[in-house]
Amino acid sequence: MAQKKEKTILSKNNPEKRLLRVLKKTGGKNNTGRITVRHKGGGVKQKYRIIDFGQKKLNQTGKVLSLEYDPNRTCYIALLQYNDGQKAYVLAPDGLSKEDEIICSQKAPVKIGNRMLLKNVPIGAFVHNIELFPMAGGKLARSAGSSVVVMGHEGKYTQIKMPSSEIRKVLSECFASIGQLSNPEHRFSQIGSAGRARKMGIRPTVRGSAMNACDHPHGGGKNKQPIGRHPRTAWGKVALGVKTRNKKKWTSKLIVQRRIKKKRK
């Protein structure tokens, strides 16, 4: 029997031309031609979709024309058309459908896709695309299936719980969008083949333990050898279990509770 095709919410229309830009590839090289990021190169040509992470159209209702796939991010994007006829792409939350209407306002109805100030978001609500500074555009919770929980309001700050279980303060005058981002099943997807990885711009990765001792700290030895003391990068720096956050970073005072470290099996 033939398998039934899964229903998709995505539109088959071509992306909006006015919202496309050429995306040049670097192959992991810097301006002098040196490879600064390994395992990058090739891949299918892509164009960048201009996303409105902020609130360019404040107090204007936007109608969802289509939900589209964006090759530059893991979640889906929604094409909006505002009352003045202008169009814009925004991050599409889970549950948003074609023909829906959303609005960005300081105090908007608590509805999936609407955008408002954090101080007006009820406690316990899920939000995404959160600003760190007022009117600077969303920076937090922008990947597929991610969301942040509003824990409470305290003075000029709002406490939010990050996907990593970290609880931190953000200025209440910052904007956030209601709902969880679309494509939550992305975390379960597997690349599956080397050919698909090459199309994604990922070049082959060689294990350090398969190299010579002069090429990697894990290399050398006869047959299959253990890596030795602890996992390290090709340049000898510790790779796992080391805190990389700067202890003198000024935003540390905004962190109420650090993330809960998961126990290894």
Residue-range domain boundaries for the chain: 17-182, 207-242
From 1.10.3720.10, 4.10.950.10, 1.10.1060.10, 1.10.10.10, which CATH number describes the 207-242 domain?
4.10.950.10
First to last CA, the chain: 42
**41/198 Cα distance (integer angstroms):** 8
User: What pLDDT, on the 0 to 100 scale, is given for residue 8?
Assistant: 76
Average pLDDT over every residue of 16-22: 95
Nearest CA to 129 out of 203, 182, 166 is that of 182
Task: Work out the pLDDT band at 1, boundaries 50, 70, 90.
Answer: very low
Q: Are the C-beta atoms of 80 and 48 separated by less than 8 Å?
A: no
Over pLDDT 70: what percentage of the chain?
Answer: 97
- Does residue 262 have a pLDDT over 90? no
Over pLDDT 90: what percentage of the chain?
Answer: 83
Average pLDDT over every residue of 225-239: 91
- Does residue 17 have a pLDDT over 90? yes
Q: Are the C-beta atoms of 34 and 26 separated by less than 8 Å?
A: no
**131/29 Cα distance (integer angstroms):** 31
**115/107 Cα distance (integer angstroms):** 8
111's tokens: 């509805």
From 3.40.50.720, 3.40.120.10, 2.40.50.140, 3.30.465.10, which CATH number describes the 17-182 domain?
2.40.50.140
How far is CA 56 from its chain centroid? 21
- Does residue 61 have a pLDDT over 90? yes
